[in-house]
Amino acid sequence: MIVPYHLLQASGSVIFAAQEVDILSFNTSMEHLSTWKYPVKATETPSELAADAEASATVEAPPTPEGPPTKRRRTENDEKEAQAGDAGTPNSTNGQKKGRFHNKPQPVNLSNEKPFINCLLATANGSHVIAATGSDKTIWVFEHDGSGNLKQLSQRAMPKRPCSLTLTTDQKTILSADKFGDVYALPLLPSAEPTLPPTVQSLPSRSATPASAPIPFKPQANDKTVHTKRNLKALENQKISMELSLKAAAEKSAEESQPAFEHTLLLGHVSMLTAITVAPGIGATGEKREWIITADRDEHVRVSRGIPQAYFIEGFCLGHEDFVSRLCVVPGREELLVSGGGDDDVFLWRWKEKQLLGRANILEEIKNTIEPELTKVAVSRLKGLSLASGETVVAVICEKIPAVVLFTLVEDTLKHTATYSLKEQGVPLDVELLPNDNLLVSIDTTEGKPDAAAPFLVLTRNGPDSWDQKPVVDVPAGETELNGEEMQKLLYTTESLRKMSDFD
């Protein structure tokens, strides 16, 4: 299966689309302009990953010691075990011993996770594009020439995996939220000589201490001193286990070490962070300020002050009964916020007052149009789109639901405009605004009919409540193929935020 375009970002007259780890650019007619390729040498190709996994799984025998092998005396326990195995007791099946001390060694998963772009955004003036790849925890910054060509300026590996990115209102600082609950600030363009915050600079480097270096594993026994098949297998498993432990320790040490570029920890959540956005406003004394709004798995929407007082919590927008996965400040009405997640509704807030203005039921709209038996939804995309006509539309996509639900902001309420079924095409992954008030939708065609081949769909607006569908077929198909299970793990992660008790 070819990986679909899963993220869209408009930047002036250019549309950027992420496809696994590559970023492609298109003009407004959806003609391909250029492609930024993920630097393979930064990690490894899938074939190299498989070769590394196979090599890691192969345990080399220790060097043979000089002189004759040391004899090992056969014990009484060995005799009993051999007799039990030969007699075909219940602890033996096809010659393989079972039981408390004879379990088969479990297969060891040594494969590395595939890199994948999970965040994509552009500056307001279109001069820069920012992306985040999950497996290597890296934030990439590109310079955009205005014609769709990207030039990589920096790549910075964060302490934890970024799950949501946004920019401050001055477009100079990136805010990175990770699922461990932390929000970091880092400059869009790093300085020539990066320095760490004083609190970080004062910490000694873990890698500088000899005690932190992994100690090579030297087993006391080897294949010359161990003769039984069972003990040889145990020795082999011991080596594999020790190698994995050393590898995990090295990865943990590298993960805990602070990156050597300018970054600041702003705030933290106790729960898993899922979304972050920035909202401008007016302070108590009339000055222009901004606020940082974050969401988490524990139904919270938190409003915090902007930099440098991000540690100060202004309050919470409370009302969700399930996880919150998406936040959207309404364009042109920045005093309003839309949030959605595992609830049946999307919520409209006057965020500064923490006031709930209303709820729009997306579950009922989808049930009435597409799936009458549907019981739960999980919002995977939530975008506020300011149309040239002056209207503001909020587009909602729910995970694995073949539909795009549109709401129009009417004063302080969300009015349902339309629910467009995409059963024939597949499952929508993202939506973005094109000129002339058209909507571009990226589609996972593997979830549609076998003959569905259009990775994009354009919704052309004919009137206030009327949109026509037009498939876009003539686009690069992509080079990477994944099986169904890999595709599911990469593309569909929102529903996994739901707590197990909610499935009962």
Task: Tell me the average pLDDT across 335-357.
Answer: 97
| Whole-number Å distance between alpha carbons of 396 and 362 | 8
Instruction: Band the pLDDT of 46: cuts 50, 70, 90.
Output: very low
Query: Which secondary-structure segment (H or E) carries 232?
Result: helix 229-256
Least confident interval from 90-104, 387-401, 417-431: 90-104
CA-closest candidate to residue 6, choices 472, 474, 455: 455
What pLDDT was estimated at residue 178? 94
Q: What is the CATH number of the domain that holds 128?
A: 2.130.10.10
- Sorted by sequence, the CB contacts under 8 Å of residue 383 that are 6+ apart come out as 328, 394, 395, 431, 432
| Whole-number Å distance between alpha carbons of 331 and 339 | 14
Q: Is residue 89 part of a domain?
A: no
What pLDDT was estimated at residue 243? 80
Task: Tell me the average pLDDT across 124-148.
Answer: 95
Task: Tell me the average pLDDT across 83-92.
Answer: 46
Least confident interval from 4-13, 51-60, 415-424, 481-490: 51-60
Q: How many helices (H) and strands (E) does the chain have?
A: 6, 30
| Whole-number Å distance between alpha carbons of 242 and 352 | 53
| pLDDT at residue 9 greater than cutoff 80 | yes
| pLDDT at residue 417 greater than cutoff 60 | yes
| Whole-number Å distance between alpha carbons of 434 and 420 | 17
What pLDDT was estimated at residue 90? 42
Q: Is residue 236 part of a domain?
A: no
Least confident interval from 21-30, 250-259, 306-315, 399-408: 250-259
- Sorted by sequence, the CB contacts under 8 Å of residue 422 that are 6+ apart come out as 402, 403, 404, 428, 441, 443, 448, 457
The two tokens of residue 417 are 């405009």
The two tokens of residue 50 are 């498989």
Percent over 90 (pLDDT), the chain: 53
Q: Is residue 460 part of a domain?
A: yes
Instruction: Band the pLDDT of 213: cuts 50, 70, 90.
Output: very low
Task: Tell me the average pLDDT across 83-100.
Answer: 44
Q: Name the pTM for this structure.
A: 0.75
| pLDDT at residue 41 greater than cutoff 60 | no
What pLDDT was estimated at residue 501? 62
The residue type found at 134 is G
Instruction: Band the pLDDT of 2: cuts 50, 70, 90.
Output: confident
| Whole-number Å distance between alpha carbons of 108 and 53 | 10
Yes or no: say if 407 and 416 are a contact pair by the CB < 8 Å rule: yes
What pLDDT was estimated at residue 225? 67
Query: Which secondary-structure segment (H or E) carries 36?
Result: strand 32-36
What pLDDT was estimated at residue 433? 93
What pLDDT was estimated at residue 74? 54
What pLDDT was estimated at residue 81? 53
Is beta strand 403-410 parallel, antiparallel or unpaired with respect to 413-421? Answer: antiparallel
Note down the domain range covering 278: 7-38+115-193+262-503
Highest mean pLDDT among 256-270, 375-389, 449-463: 375-389
Q: Is residue 441 part of a domain?
A: yes
Q: Is residue 144 part of a domain?
A: yes
With 0-12 / 13-18 / 19 or more C-beta atoms within 10 angstroms meaning exposed / middle / buried, residue 330 is: buried
| Whole-number Å distance between alpha carbons of 249 and 212 | 9
Query: Which secondary-structure segment (H or E) carries 467?
Result: strand 466-472
With 0-12 / 13-18 / 19 or more C-beta atoms within 10 angstroms meaning exposed / middle / buried, residue 83 is: exposed
Task: Tell me the average pLDDT across 209-219.
Answer: 47
Reported as a single tens digit per residue, the pLDDT across 241-296 is: 878 877 777 666 655 566 788 999 999 999 999 999 999 998 888 889 999 999 99
**Based on the structure, what is the number of domains in the chain?**
1
Yes or no: say if 326 and 305 are a contact pair by the CB < 8 Å rule: no
Task: Tell me the average pLDDT across 466-486.
Answer: 80
Sign of the C-alpha dihedral computed for residues 349, 353, 357 and 358 taken in this order? positive
Task: Tell me the average pLDDT across 22-29.
Answer: 94
What pLDDT was estimated at residue 456? 94
Average pLDDT along the chain: 80
What pLDDT was estimated at residue 353? 95
Is beta strand 301-305 parallel, antiparallel or unpaired with respect to 7-11? Answer: unpaired
Yes or no: say if 289 and 282 are a contact pair by the CB < 8 Å rule: yes
What pLDDT was estimated at residue 492? 94
Q: Is residue 230 part of a domain?
A: no
Q: Is residue 43 part of a domain?
A: no
What pLDDT was estimated at residue 205? 35
What pLDDT was estimated at residue 51? 47
What pLDDT was estimated at residue 99? 40
- Please count the other Cβ atoms lying within 10 Å of the Cβ belonging to residue 360: 21
Q: Is residue 221 part of a domain?
A: no
What pLDDT was estimated at residue 192? 58
The rounded radius of gyration (Å) of the Cα atoms in the chain is: 27
| pLDDT at residue 77 greater than cutoff 50 | yes
Task: Tell me the average pLDDT across 235-241.
Answer: 80
Higher local confidence (pLDDT), 447 or 94: 447
- Sorted by sequence, the CB contacts under 8 Å of residue 317 that are 6+ apart come out as 301, 302, 303, 337, 339, 347, 349, 351, 354, 356
Least confident interval from 182-186, 225-229, 232-236, 355-359: 225-229
The residue type found at 376 is K
